[in-house]
Structure 1
Amino acid sequence: MPSPASSRIDGRTTRWAGQRERRRREFVEAALRAIAHHGPGLPIERIAEEAGVARTRLYKHFADASDIHRAIASRVVELLNAELAPLWNLHGSPREMIAAAIDTHTRFLSERRHLYLYLGMYALSQRDPDGDAVNDVKTTIGQHLTRLFEYYLTTFGLRTLVAQPVAFGLVGMVDATVARWLDEPSELRRDELVGLLSRWVWAILDDTLRSGGVELDPDAGLSAPDLPFP
């Protein structure tokens, strides 16, 4: 049976751990505000300034600068995955699903550009129990689309070997095109860009299906599989 003294020590330890975790979250949220305002390449001093503390104060709650960046990147992944949730529940016709996915992605890049760039600069390097790297959001989307394409290719009796290169090729095309559009604004509106990209994506998917002898009506309803979150 634990003594009263050890119980008090355990209680203080638990409270300190909870307070430390709360302060870490507060510092991370301050960092997100600073990134949104100043851009992804901000120094640690700017994060401390946004949090209203000295830089040395941050290091009482984080092991080092890498620990700070990992905590921020983890939070960014949480936020971006939440915003990209519609990508995991696509439904409707092929044309509708493509347009919805691209609209979600382009809106997210437009509104969270600095956070997305930050994630690219400080990519997570944590490992899951199986030893696979935790990849950035682009890779997560590519993996999800790969499984989606594998499902449909199997349904249509086609080989699934092309699923991954097609999925990642489309993600790369859309991401690079939108990133360039954001870096060099033009008179092209976002909805017009979404329309262009949607047509290009369908052209690639249609060619992939036709090469296997499948002709799919892009405006006909298509049942979506219940795939788990990546």
Structure 2
Amino acid sequence: MSPVTAATTPGETPVDGRSARWDVHRAARRAELARVARKAVHLRGPDVSMDEIATEAGTSKSVVYRYFVDKSGLQAAVGEVVLDDMHARLDEAVSSAVTPREGLRSMIAAYLEMIDGSPSVYWFVTQPVAEGSSVTLNRFLDDIATLIARPFVALLRGRGGASVLEGQPADVWSAGAVGFVKGAGDWWLAHRDEPGAPTADELAERVTAWLWAGPVGSLARPLPADTTTDPAPVHLDDEEPS
């Protein structure tokens, strides 16, 4: 048996040990370069060049291209690094929440904290992808929406929320919510230093109130038989109706 071929059972395809080790090395190197790129973007801004990223990584631009094809590929990889951090923050936000509304506010606050901590990285991972790039669609916001939907639906279910916010309705809600939060966050980044602008905490509370009174309040209750009649609001948390 070849020294680089692992033993197999009948019907299995032999695995080249050297190839497997190279795959692991390549994945680790790619992840390392993505983290370095994130740091370079944070320090130099969202328009950082591939030359500057290569310099920060202590390598050549051709090596960076070897792992990411083009800048949009690197953009997507940095987005993956940010998503990993967001995943941990959102899990913590949901697990520590007592009510669904509190969980929603905590997730919005975590999102605002992320963009406030490094606006340059935020703009970098959400900017439009260049035409003809290796990545046909920037999926960062789609992935954020998925990240938000699942734990929030689980929290609603745990609090007795209606099953109408399951499956596709949850996907529609989360995509719309992320779009709403992104729009509010973009505005806030541009105006946060102006007199009278809300703090991150104030904005988180306002956006939570708007979302909770609107799509969440509607989707988390069954539609009435007569859709021409506005149903009474359903309170999913422990707060008393106002």
- Tell me the TM-score range normalised by the shorter chain: 0.5 to 0.7
Which residue of structure 2 lines up, in the alignment, with residue 34 of structure 1? 40
1:77 shift after superposition? 2.7
Are positions 1:62 and 2:75 aligned together? no
- Distance in 2 separating the partners of 1:34 and 1:176: 25
Q: How many residues align?
A: 210
- C-alpha distance 99-62 of structure 1, shift in aligned 2 (>3 A): closer
Which residue does the alignment assign to 1:194? 204
Q: Residue 199 of structure 1: CA displacement?
A: 1.9
Normalization by structure 1: what TM-score? 0.67
Q: Distance in 1 between matches of 2:158 and 2:25?
A: 49
* Counterpart position of 1:2: 2
- Residue of 171, 174, 179 corresponding to 2:178: 171
Deviation at 1:33, TM superposition (A): 0.7
Instruction: Work out whether 1:119 is the aligned partner of 2:125.
Output: yes
Distance 1:189 1:34 in 2: 27
Deviation for aligned residue 1:195: 2.1
- Tell me, yes or no, if structure 1 residue 206 matches structure 2 residue 217: yes
Q: Which stretches in structure 2 are left out of the alignment for 5+ residues?
A: 6-15, 225-230
Which residue is equivalent to 1:216?
A: 234
- Tell me which residue corresponds to 1:25: 31
The answer to whether the Cα contact below 8 Å between 1:28 and 1:71 also exists between their aligned partners in 2 is yes
* Deviation per residue, 1:170-216 (Å, 9 max, x gap): 33222211221112223321222122222212221335549644543
CA RMSD of aligned residues (A): 4.1
Distance 2:183 2:233 in 1: 29
Instruction: Compute the TM-score of the two structures, normalised by the length of structure 2.
Output: 0.64
Deviation at 1:217, TM superposition (A): 3.6
Which shows bigger deviation, 197-206 or 144-153?
144-153
- Where 2:202 maps in the other structure, the secondary structure is helix
Q: Distance between the aligned counterparts of 2:142 and 2:198, measured in 1?
A: 28
Looking at structure 2, the residues matched to 17 and 176 of structure 1 have their Cα atoms a distance apart, in angstroms, of 39
Q: Which amino acid aligns with 1:111?
A: G
Contact 1:81 1:137 in 2 (8 A): no
Contact 1:83–1:108 (CA under 8 A) maintained in structure 2 = no
